[in-house]
C-alpha cells in the first residue's frame, strides 16, 4: 500500500505570517500507520511550497500512490476537493480520502459537491484512517465500505452514508508521531529564525463554547503523560533541531497539575536552553497561576496569546468593562512581569459592531499594553452552535473566506470594507507605537530580540501584501476602501448548508459533554441567558472563550 498525504496550497494572511508551519497531522498519522506495518508513505506539502495544481498532479504521477489522502480546515476545503479531483483524474484506480475538521461535520455537502472523494475520515484521524487503509488493503472497502468505522462515503446509489463513529483513542501516548516524514529545513519561525514544531499535550476540551467546534471535533478531553510529551520535544530538538514550538492544544493550561508537571520536566532536562515555546490560553488561567508564571518562563514559555475578548465575540452583551478590563489588564501585566510576551486577541465583526466598538478595542489594547494585539474577524463555523443561532444573519457561504481575516458577517452599521479599514487602522496605530516607542527600548535582550523578530515577520508580510490577505482584496489604505473586493465568487455564493443535514450529520456524533449537549439543544434564550449570567459572574474569557475551570475532581479523572 503506497499512501500519499497532501496538504493543500491554501493561504490567508493570518497566523501563518510568522513563518512556515509543519503540518502535525501528517506526523501523527504516519507514526500510527507505520506502527501498524504501513511504511510506504509520502507527503507533498503544497502549502509550504506554494505548489500549483499541475505540479501536484505531476508529483502524484511520479509517486503513483494507492491512496491519496488530503486534509482540509474549512477555508481550504475547495482546494482540497480540487486536489482530490486531480487525483481521481490522474490516478483513476487510487482511493481518494479527505480528513480534517471541515469534512468531519460537512461530509453531506462535501460528498455531494465532490463525488470523486471515496471516503471522508471523521474526527481524530489515526485509528479511523488505519481502519480504512486496512480495509482498502484487504479489498474490503470496495465491497463493504459500511464495515469501516468512522468514515462517510457515497453508496453505489449515490446515498451519503456515515458509519458508526470510532471511539476516541483513550490513551494518546499510544500514538508515536513520525516527525521524520517532514522536511524540517522548510519549517522556520521567523521571529526566532529557528525550526518550529506543533506537538500535542492534550486533545479536546471539557467545555462547550457555542462559537467553537474544537470540543465537538475531539469529542473527549484526553491529556498525555507530560513526560512522554517532553520525550517527544527532546526528540524534536535533538533529531530535527527544533528551536521553537507551540502546543497544538486550544487550552494547554486547563489541566493545571499536568501543565505544571510538563514545565518541571522541561526544566529538569535542561531543554529551555535549547527550545522556547508559546501557547494560546485563557486569562482566568493566567490569574489562577500568577505565582507560577516565573517557573513557566524558566521552562521556556516565552509567548502567551490570550483570548481576551470572546465576550465581545458572543455579543450577548456589551463587554462588562470594569471587571473584564481589570482582569485582562492584570493578566497582561503579570505576563510582562514574568518576562513572557503577551498577545491580546480581539474578535470583531459581528452584526452589531460599530465604529465606536472598534475604537474601544483599540483603546483597550493601548490601555492593557500587551506586547502584541490581534484583531480577528468573527468566523461562523457552520457546524458550531452559534452558526445555527445566528440564522439568516450569516449570508456568505463561500467557505474559502472563512479564515478570520475576511468579514463574513456584515455589521449593520458599516459595510465590510469599512470594517476592514477600521481594523487596519487599529493595527497601524498599535504597531507603529510598538515599533518606534516600545520594542527597540525593551531592556531584556532576549525579549527585545523576540519582539523585533515578530516585527520583522509583520513587515515581511506587509511588504509582500500577504498580511490579512490585503493584496488579494485590493486594500491599499483608507483611500482604497471603495475598491476593496473580497471576491466572494459567484460559484461560492452557495446556499446556506441545510441545517437539518448538519443536525443529522451530528446526530450520532456522541461526545463526552452529554448533559451539556442537551443544554445546547435548547435554543436561543436559554443559552443566551445562561451565557450572560456566566459572563456577569466572571467575565474574563478563554482561548477565545470559556470561563470554566477544571475542578480538582474532574482533573483527577484525566
Ligand atoms: C497549528 C495551527 C495552525 C498553523 C498551521 C499548521 C499547519 N501547517 O497545519 C498556522 C499557524 C499556520 C495556522 C494557520 C491558520 N489556521 Co490554524 N490552527 C492551528 C491549531 C492551533 C493546531 C492544528 C494542529 O496541528 N493540531 C494537531 C493535529 C494533530 O490535529 P489536526 O490537524 O486536527 O489533525 C487531526 C485530525 O483533524 C485528522 N486529520 C487532519 N487532517 C487529516 C487528513 C487525513 C487524510 C486524515 C485521514 C485525517 C486528518 O487527523 C489528525 C490526527 O488526529 C488549530 C487549533 C487546534 N487546537 O487544533 C488551529 C486551526 C486548525 N486553525 C484554524 C484556522 C481558521 C486557521 C487560519 C485560516 C487562520 C488564519 N487566517 O491565520 C490559517 C490557515 C492556514 C492555512 N494556510 O491553511 C482553525 C480551523 C477551523 C475550521 N473550522 O476550519 C483552527 C481549528 C483554530 C480554531 N480555533 O478555530 N493554524
Ligand atoms: S474553552 Fe476554548 S477550546 Fe474549549 S470549547 Fe471554549 S473556546 Fe473551544
Sign of CA dihedral 336, 448, 241, 249: positive
The residue-averaged pLDDT of 466-490 equals 90
Which residue among 9, 16, 170, 209 has the greatest number of ligand 1 atoms within 8 angstroms of its CB, and so is best to mutate? 16
* Span 460-465, average pLDDT: 89
273 contact partners, CB below 8 Å, separation of at least 6: none
Rounded CA separation 253/548 (Å) = 12
Q: How far is the CA of 126 from the centre of ligand 2 (A)?
A: 23
pLDDT, one tens digit per residue, over 396-426 is 999 999 999 999 999 999 999 999 999 999 9
Q: Vertex 258, ends 256 and 259: CA angle to 5°?
A: 65
Q: Give the confidence band of 531 by pLDDT, cuts at 50, 70, 90.
A: very low
Model confidence at 523: pLDDT above 70: no
Q: Inter-axis angle of helices 321-337 and 355-368, to 10 degrees? A: 40
Residue nearest to atom 34 of ligand 1 (CA): 25
**Residue 7 belongs to what H/E stretch?**
strand 3-7
CB 46 within 8 Å of CB 7: yes
What integer pLDDT is reported at residue 270 of this predicted model?
Answer: 98
Q: Give the C-alpha distances (Å, rounded to integers) separating 122 from 72, 102, 217.
A: 12, 9, 9
Tell which residue, 207, 292, 208, 276, has the closest CA to residue 242: 276
- Sequence-distant (6+) residues with CB within 8 A of 204 are 168, 214, 215, 217, 218, 219, 220, 221, 222, 512
Residue 19 Cβ contacting ligand 1 at under 6 Å:
no
Of 299, 182, 302, 201, the closest CA to residue 239 belongs to 182
Give me ligand 2 centre to Cα 383, in Å.
14
The pLDDT value given to residue 556: 72
Q: How confident is the model at residue 244 (pLDDT cuts 50, 70, 90)?
A: very high
- Pocket test of ligand 1: the residue of 4, 11, 12, 15 to mutate, having most ligand atoms within 8 Å of its CB, is 15
Of ligand 2's listed atoms, the one at least distance from the Cα of 548 is 1
Q: How far is the CA of 11 from the centre of ligand 2 (A)?
A: 24
Q: Which three cell numbers stand for residue 507?
A: 446526530
Q: H or E element: which one contains 366? A: helix 355-368
Q: Span 180-206, mean pLDDT?
A: 96
| pLDDT exceeds 60 at position 503 | yes
Which has the closest alpha carbon to 312: 359, 347, 281?
Answer: 347
Q: In the block, which residue shows the cell 446556499?
A: 495
Grid cell digits, residue 172:
494518546
Ligand nearest to the CA of residue 280, numbered in listed order: 1
pLDDT of residue 316: 39
Give DSSP secondary structure letters for 275-293. Answer: -EEEEEE-HHHHHHTGGGH
Q: Give the side-chain half-sphere CA count within 13 A for 226.
A: 18
pLDDT at 390: 84
Tens-digit pLDDT profile for residues 70-123:
999 999 999 999 999 999 999 999 999 999 999 999 999 999 999 999 999 999
Of 117, 267, 258, 244, which Cα lies nearest the Cα of 184? 244
Residue 490 pLDDT greater than 80, yes or no: no
Q: What sections of 391-483 are H helices per DSSP? A: 416-433, 445-463, 470-473
Q: Report the alpha-carbon distance of residue 63 to residue 77 in Å, rounded.
A: 23
Residue 313 near ligand 1, beta carbon < 6 Å: no
Q: Ligand 1 center to residue 553 CA distance, Å?
A: 31
Mean pLDDT of the chain: 89
Taking CA atoms, 539 is separated from 46, 191, 286, 473, 534, in Å, by 42, 32, 14, 35, 7
Would you state the cell numbers that stand for residue 152, as one nine-digit string? 462517510
Q: How far apart are CA 512 and CA 175, in angstroms?
A: 21
Please give the Cα distance from 262 to 406 (Å, whole number).
Answer: 37
Contacts of 240 (CB under 8 A, 6+ apart): 179, 180, 182, 184, 195, 197
E strands, 106-187, are 119-121, 151-154, 160-162
* Cα 261 to Cα 477: distance, rounded to the nearest angstrom: 48
The C-alpha cell of 436 is what?
518606534
- Position 508 scores a pLDDT of 76
Q: Examine the pLDDT at 189 and tell me if it is beyond 70.
A: yes
Looking at residue 211, its pLDDT comes to 78
Residue nearest to ligand 2 atom 8, measured at CA: 212
Higher pLDDT, 392 or 226: 226
Q: Is the CB of 169 under 6 A from ligand 1?
A: no
Give the Cα separation of 499 and 106 in Å (integer).
11
Query: Cα of 325 to ligand 1 centre, how many Å?
Result: 30
Ligand 1 nearest-atom number relative to CA 383:
83
pLDDT at 534 over 90: no
Whether residue 240 has pLDDT greater than 70: yes
Q: Which residues of 286-306 are buried (b: 16+ CB within 10 A; e: fewer)?
A: beebeebbeebbebbbbbbbb
Region 436-455: mean pLDDT is: 95
> Where does the pLDDT of residue 505 fall: very low under 50, low under 70, confident under 90, or very high at 90 and above?
confident
Which residue's C-alpha comes closest to atom 44 of ligand 1? Answer: 99
pLDDT of residue 515: 55
pLDDT higher than threshold 70 for residue 253: yes
Q: Residue 543 in 3-state DSSP?
A: coil
Smallest CA separation from ligand 1 atom 16, residue: 15
What sign does the CA torsion over 263, 264, 269, 272 have?
positive
Report DSSP state, residue 437.
I
Q: Is 397 close to ligand 1, i.e. is its CB under 6 Å away? A: no
Cell of 370: 500587551
Report the pLDDT value the prediction gives residue 548, as an integer from 0 to 100: 65
Residue from 178, 198, 202, 287 nearest 252 by CA: 202
Query: What's the order of all strands across the beta sheet hosting 95-99?
Result: 41-45, 3-7, 67-71, 95-99, 119-121, 151-154, 160-162
Q: What pLDDT, on the 0 to 100 scale, is given for residue 524? A: 39
Copy the grid coordinates of residue 121. 475520515
Q: How far is the CA of 473 from the centre of ligand 2 (A)?
A: 31
Of the candidate ranges 172-176, 350-354, 460-464, 496-500, the one whose mean pLDDT is the lowest: 496-500
Give the residue-averaged pLDDT of 456-477: 92
**CA 8 to CA 87: how far, in whole Å?**
13
113 CA distance to ligand 2 middle (Å): 30
φ, ψ for residue 306, nearest 5 deg: -110, 130
**Three-class secondary structure of residue 317 per DSSP:** coil
Query: How many A from CA of 73 to the centre of ligand 1?
Result: 6
Structure confidence by residue, pLDDT tens digits, 122-134: 999 999 999 999 9
Q: Return the ligand 2 atom nearest residue 206 CA.
A: 4
Instruction: Say which residue the cell 478595542 belongs to.
Output: 361
The pLDDT value given to residue 69: 99
Amino acid at each position: 500500500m503506497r499512501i500519499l498525504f497532501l496538504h493543500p496550497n491554501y493561504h490567508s494572511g493570518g497566523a501563518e505570517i510568522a513563518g512556515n508551519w509543519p503540518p502535525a497531522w501528517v506526523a501523527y498519522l504516519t507514526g500510527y500507520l507505520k506502527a501498524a506495518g504501513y511504511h510506504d508513505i509520502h507527503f507533498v506539502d503544497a502549502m509550504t511550497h506554494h505548489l500549483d495544481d499541475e505540479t501536484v498532479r505531476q508529483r502524484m504521477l511520479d509517486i503513483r500512490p494507492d491512496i491519496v489522502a488530503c486534509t482540509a480546515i474549512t477555508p481550504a476545503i475547495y482546494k482540497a476537493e480540487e486536489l482530490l479531483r486531480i487525483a481521481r483524474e490522474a490516478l483513476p484506480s487510487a482511493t481518494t480520502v479527505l480528513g480534517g475538521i471541515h469534512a468531519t461535520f460537512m461530509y453531506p455537502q462535501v460528498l455531494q459537491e465532490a463525488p470523486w472523494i471515496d471516503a471522508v475520515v471523521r474526527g481524530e484521524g489515526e485509528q479511523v484512517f488505519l481502519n480504512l487503509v486496512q480495509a482498502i488493503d484487504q479489498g474490503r472497502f470496495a465491497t463493504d465500505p459500511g464495515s469501516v468505522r468512522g468514515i462517510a462515503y457515497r453508496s453505489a446509489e449515490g446515498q451519503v452514508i456515515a458509519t458508526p463513529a470510532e471511539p476516541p483513542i483513550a490513551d494518546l501516548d499510544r500514538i508515536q508521531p513520525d516527525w521524520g516524514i517532514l522536511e524540517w529545513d522548510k519549517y522556520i519561525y521567523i521571529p526566532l529564525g529557528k525550526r518550529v514544531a506543533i506537538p500535542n499535550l492534550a486533545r479536546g476540551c471539557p467545555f462547550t463554547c457555542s462559537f467553537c467546534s474544537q470540543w465537538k471535533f475531539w469529542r473527549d478531553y484526553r491529556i498525555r503523560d507530560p513526560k512522554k510529551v517532553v520525550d517527544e520535544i527532546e526528540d524534536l530538538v535533538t533529531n530535527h533541531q527544533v528551536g521553537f514550538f507551540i502546543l497544538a492544544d486550544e487550552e494547554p493550561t486547563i489541566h493545571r497539575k499536568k501543565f505544571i508537571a510538563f514545565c518541571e520536566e522541561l526544566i529538569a532536562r535542561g531543554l529551555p536552553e535549547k527550545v522556547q515555546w508559546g501557547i494560546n490560553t485563557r486569562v482566568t488561567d493566567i490569574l489562577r497561576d500568577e505565582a507560577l508564571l516565573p517557573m513557566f518562563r524558566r521552562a521556556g514559555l516565552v509567548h502567551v496569546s490570550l483570548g481576551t475578548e470572546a465576550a465581545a465575540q458572543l455579543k450577548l452583551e456589551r463587554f462588562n468593562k470594569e471587571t473584564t478590563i481589570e482582569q485582562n489588564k492584570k493578566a497582561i501585566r503579570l505576563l510582562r512581569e514574568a518576562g513572557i510576551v503577551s498577545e491580546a486577541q480581539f474578535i470583531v465583526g459581528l452584526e452589531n459592531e460599530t465604529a465606536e466598538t472598534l475604537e474601544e478595542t483599540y483603546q483597550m489594547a493601548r490601555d492593557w499594553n500587551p506586547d502584541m494585539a490581534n484583531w480577528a474577524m468573527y468566523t461562523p463555523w457552520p457546524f458550531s452552535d452559534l452558526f445555527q443561532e445566528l440564522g439568516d444573519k450569516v449570508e456568505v457561504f463561500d467557505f474559502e473566506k472563512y479564515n478570520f481575516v475576511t468579514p463574513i458577517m456584515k455589521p449593520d452599521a458599516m459595510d465590510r470594507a469599512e470594517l476592514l479599514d477600521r481594523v487596519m487602522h487599529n493595527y497601524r496605530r498599535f504597531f507603529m507605537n510598538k515599533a518606534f516607542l516600545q520594542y527597540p527600548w525593551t531592556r531584556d535582550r532576549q525579549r527585545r530580540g523576540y519582539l523585533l523578530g515578530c516585527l520583522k515577520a509583520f513587515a515581511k508580510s506587509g511588504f509582500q501584501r500577504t498580511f490579512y490577505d490585503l493584496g488579494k482584496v485590493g486594500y491599499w489604505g483608507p483611500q482604497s476602501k471603495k475598491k476593496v473586493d473580497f471576491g466572494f465568487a459567484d460559484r461560492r455564493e452557495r446556499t446556506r448548508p441545510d441545517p437539518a443535514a448538519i443536525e443529522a450529520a451530528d446526530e450520532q456524533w456522541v461526545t463526552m459533554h452529554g448533559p451539556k449537549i442537551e443544554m445546547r439543544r435548547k435554543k436561543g434564550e436559554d443559552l443566551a441567558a445562561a451565557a450572560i449570567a456566566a459572563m456577569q459572574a466572571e467575565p474574563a474569557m478563554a482561548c477565545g472563550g470559556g470561563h470554566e475551570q477544571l475542578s480538582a475532581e474532574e482533573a483527577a479523572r484525566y
